Structure 1
Amino acid sequence: LCALINVNGIMAYTLFDSGSTTDSVSPEFAHISGAKPVKLTEQVILQLGCSGSRSKINYGTWVPLQFGPIAQTMYFDIVNLDRYDCVIGTPFMNAHGISLDFEQRAIIVKGQVCPAFTLEEDSS
């Protein structure tokens, strides 16, 4: 499911990914939003779902995030994302009681329903 969330003062087209174990922003979004990149002391391997599909994470950033009742500064890896400005993974969703309702196309944050994009909106 996808929604717009406020990341570093800019609305980010965000994928809530139940298969991701990391939270990330694209280099383009990090630049546009003015996020300060932090070079990692060691590269981190980013393993994707496809066999042989991997990348390396060299940078991260700490930025404020606001979505529904959540308002906090959080860490994001800066990675090459194909279609999204931002990806929210399962550790963040677990920590904040976020569940995904695919039937109703809703992102539920501690009981608060936040609408996700419709299929039509998401495919355009």
Structure 2
Amino acid sequence: LQNPVVMQLGMVGSHARINFGTTSMIVSQGYLGSEYFDMVNIDKYDTIVGTPSMHCNKVVLDFDNKCVMVNGNKIPEKPENKPWKGKGKMKYTDEDIPSLRQGWYDEFESLLQGVPEKMPPFCEVNHKILLIDPDKQYHYHLPWCSNSLKMEFSKKVEKYTRAGWWMLTSASQAAPMLCLPK
């Protein structure tokens, strides 16, 4: 477009401008013709048909009957995508439960094993983040781990050092690395 047009829809972030336009052939039930479209990148929409285009093509949105009419022809609804084909819910018996359980376990086995104590592939750590600054002295009430969470914290430290994610060291001042519930 020679002069960019400001977008008239609700936008997230800064304002949007329409910089390009095109004419395209539209083939739909009840309509065949050429239409002009402004080209804009909008999430979740393939095409937005404006009011002038709807007026020219005698589009009627019938909200009472939940249908759309173009040039007097009713456009049928899309059939709903059903997740399964069949006659209602399947009936399971107690004998089916072990095979269903095993099938689900086999399908989701990797998710049920907890966090593996190794780095994931292609994500090796090639740096260190030093959390202790020996020259820094903090002058405040030092944090401490409550008695009710000491066992959880000990398990976390043991697991992380065994996996090589943490290295045990001594420091004069350090904060426990655990999110504590309020």
Contact 1:105 1:115 in 2 (8 A): no
Partner of 2:2: helix, strand, or coil?
strand
Corresponding position of 2:74 = 113
Per-residue displacement from partner, 1:22-65 (whole Å, max 9, x unpaired)? xxxxxxxxxxxxxxxxxx11111012246986310011111111
Out of 54, 64, 69, the residue aligned to residue 25 of structure 2 is 64
TM (norm. structure 1) is: 0.55
Gaps of 5+ in 1: 1-39
Gaps of 5+ in 2: 82-182
Q: What's the offset of the Cα at 1:92? A: 0.8
Does the C-alpha gap of structure 1 residues 116 and 90 become closer, same or farther in structure 2, counting only changes over 3 Å? farther
Corresponding position of 1:82 = 43
Contact 1:47 1:53 in 2 (8 A): no
Over alpha carbons, which structure has the higher Rg?
2
After superposition, the CA RMSD in angstroms is 2.4
Structure with the bigger percentage of strand: 1
Corresponding position of 1:93 = 54
- Alignment partners' CA distance in 1, 2:42 and 2:12: 18
Choose between structure 1 and 2 for higher RCO, CA contacts under 8 A separated by at least 6 residues.
Answer: 1
- Alignment partners' CA distance in 2, 1:70 and 1:54: 33
* Sequence identity percentage: 37
User: Structure 2 matches for 1:1-124, cutoff 5 A?
Assistant: 40-49=1-10, 54-117=15-78
Partner of 1:94: helix, strand, or coil?
helix
Contact 1:47 1:54 in 2 (8 A): no
- Alignment partners' CA distance in 1, 2:44 and 2:63: 20
TM (norm. structure 2) is: 0.39
